[in-house]
Structure 1
Amino acid sequence: MPEFSAVEGMKYIYPILVGFMVLEYLVARKNYELKDSLAGFGIALGASVVAAFTKVFTVLVVFQWFFDVLAPLREQYLGYTSIGFAWWAWILAVLADDFNFYWHHRFSHTVRLLWAAHVPHHSSKNFNFAVSIRNGWFITLYKPVFWLWMACIGFDPIMIGTALIINSTYQYFLHTKLLGSLGFFGKIFNNPYVHAVHHSSNVEYLDKNHGGIFMFWDHLFGTWQNIIPGVDPKYGILKDPGTYNPIKLNTHEFVDIYKDVKKAKNFKQGFMYIFGPPGWSPDNSTLTAKQIQAGVTPKEESTTSAAA
């Protein structure tokens, strides 16, 4: 079994990623804004501290526990205890990991509580490598749930952890304006040109292109959207908190959820304010992304909100 070196190996990857960020800044300085970039680094610092505990714990404890406990059942009913580390197993692991990421990512845009944890990543009005490190502080508290099944069916936790790192590293390079359309290739593999859609708050682009490495999940599940000629991406979110404070950027949507739940008139309303889509309201005073795209008119224009 390979040693658990993937997480430790990130210390060699980080300098490379920072190097690309510096290079992008030198080539396209106009794409960077000092306060916004500093906010991104603040968010990344907090996320790194949380991830240092949660990610290692998840791989070494949670995934390993499910992997070990269910080994006898796999042997009895499936005829194996572990999928192993053959080349084809790695390909399956990367595909399975990206499938998991798609649904984790999609639910993080369509379930308000999860959106509250994910929204820091979309809060920038810029699109550059500094945005790629803006990971919400609370993401790792629920993200591993989408990967548990892999450990249950016999993917070694080391393989799962490595696939996660491969996916995260690939996605770092999706956040830049320096790469144009890749044509047919861009319909299969995620790239900055189509990922710009995902980071846009244009009505036509809301809740699209959730894939990590591969875009065929979006084609398969109906969330694919290419750049529309004449509709330039407008980066950021519809309900902008108007701050560069990393703490507020990580908590403002949770605060708003709390305020909405307090004014709920019944259990259903309270439940929907938490687990319904971002922007849901019982009277359409605020709208969801689907309602906005359908042309629903908000009751009060000044209070319209939805996920970006």
Structure 2
Amino acid sequence: MNQFPDIIIYAIPFFIVSMLLELYVTTKTHLKTYESKDAFSSIAMGLGNVLLGYFSKIVVLVCFFYIYENFRIFTIPVVWWSFILIFFADDFSYYWFHRISHTCRLFWASHVVHHSSQHYNLSTALRQTWSGGFYSFVFWLWLPLLGFHPGMILLQMSISLIYQFWIHTETINKMPWWFEAVMNTPSHHRVHHGSNPLYLDRNHAGILIIWDKLFGTFQPELKEEKVVYGLVSNINTFNPVKIAFIEWFNMLKDAFTGKKSLKNRFLYLVKPPGWKHDGTGKLSDDLRQEWLKSVDNKQ
């Protein structure tokens, strides 16, 4: 494991310098992307994520090593070509983790943290979960089973997280077309953070946008549809503890209070955000269809 450093720690100075540079640029260009309370909340969430990460990584490593030592199908050597393989394998895992985090409320409860800001800047990238690290790793369990060393897996997961830092900005409009075609970019990821019906649950990419294009979840950013950041129903708080756990509270309240069948209580944990057992809830697809109909009617 000593061969695989925790590069997130080494990246922190880069994060700080980048945010200060972005703040300078946005101030000079009068692009109002930063709000002090919001930015400090995001930074607090990031610090909490790093601190709790020391504990969650113990859980992750125990699970990864248990599978790797007892059940691995192959032994994939730590050589140059295996890093190419794990790059694609990790990014594929991330896509499905990210997509399901938007369609299963149990995973949304931790992921919603990252979408809770109504601003979009590099500090938003630091607005990370305090709880997701303890269970979201299940989407990567097939990698040690296949034979990737746990240290390699964690290293590539960190590389993916660092890559995704720079795409949280409005200071970059579009990258060259060939880059936009393959890679996740600020434009693609702005769509992902939009609460506009057209943009909901789109562009789940980590590093490569190709998965969204392959599996039908890609949506380009449109000039005529300016991104509105945040949630369909914003939580309107800067309190880091509330940001971290408010959706857990709401989910468990929906599941375990009131008169409901055991089946419906369970469904509140696995159905998408917005689902209600009495049929009154609206999912992202419902909101998108309503919006599309309203656009058609105006035309």
Regarding TM over 0.5, the answer is yes
Q: Does 1:64 align with 2:65?
A: yes
Uncovered stretches (5+) of structure 2, i.e. residues with no partner? 292-299
Say which of 152, 168, 190 aligns to 1:196: 190
Aligned residue pair count: 285
Give matches, 1:10-21, under 5 Å: 10-21=8-19
Q: Does 1:44 align with 2:27?
A: no
Q: Is the 8 A contact 2:107 2:136 kept in 1?
A: no
d(CA) in 1 for partners of 2:207 and 2:97?
14
TM-score by length of 1: 0.88
Q: Does 1:26 align with 2:38?
A: no
Q: Is the 8 A contact 1:6 1:161 kept in 2?
A: no
d(CA) in 2 for partners of 1:291 and 1:11?
41
Give the equivalent residue in structure 2 for 1:239. Answer: 233
Amino acid corresponding to residue 217 of structure 1 in structure 2? W
**Do the aligned partners of residues 244 and 185 (structure 1) sit closer, same or farther apart at CA in structure 2, a change above 3 Å counting?**
same
Q: Is the 8 A contact 1:202 1:234 kept in 2?
A: yes
Give the equivalent residue in structure 2 for 1:171. Answer: 164
**Percent identity between the two aligned chains:** 36
Q: Does 1:210 align with 2:209?
A: no
* SS of corresponding position for 1:295: helix
- Offset, 1:228: 2.1
Say which of 274, 279, 283 aligns to 1:279: 274
**Do the aligned partners of residues 32 and 145 (structure 1) sit closer, same or farther apart at CA in structure 2, a change above 3 Å counting?**
same
Q: Is the 8 A contact 2:60 2:134 kept in 1?
A: no
Amino acid corresponding to residue 264 of structure 2 in structure 1? Q
TM-score by length of 2: 0.91
- Offset, 1:185: 1.9
d(CA) in 2 for partners of 1:98 and 1:146?
11
d(CA) in 2 for partners of 1:288 and 1:231?
20
- Offset, 1:94: 0.8
Q: Is the 8 A contact 1:264 1:270 kept in 2?
A: no
Give matches, 1:1-308, under 5 Å: 3-7=2-6, 9-29=7-27, 30-59=32-61, 61-71=62-72, 74=73, 81-182=74-175, 183-261=177-255, 262-295=257-290
* SS of corresponding position for 2:102: helix
Give the equivalent residue in structure 2 for 1:77. Answer: none
Q: Is the 8 A contact 1:171 1:212 kept in 2?
A: yes
Of 81-90 and 229-238, more deviation after overlay is shown by: 81-90
Q: Is the 8 A contact 1:83 1:156 kept in 2?
A: yes
Q: Is the 8 A contact 1:116 1:253 kept in 2?
A: yes
1:261-284 CA distance string (max 9 Å, x none)? 212521222122111000001333
* SS of corresponding position for 1:294: helix
- Offset, 1:56: 4.3
**Do the aligned partners of residues 264 and 134 (structure 1) sit closer, same or farther apart at CA in structure 2, a change above 3 Å counting?**
farther
Amino acid corresponding to residue 208 of structure 1 in structure 2? R
1:172-202 CA distance string (max 9 Å, x none)? 1110011112224212100101100000000
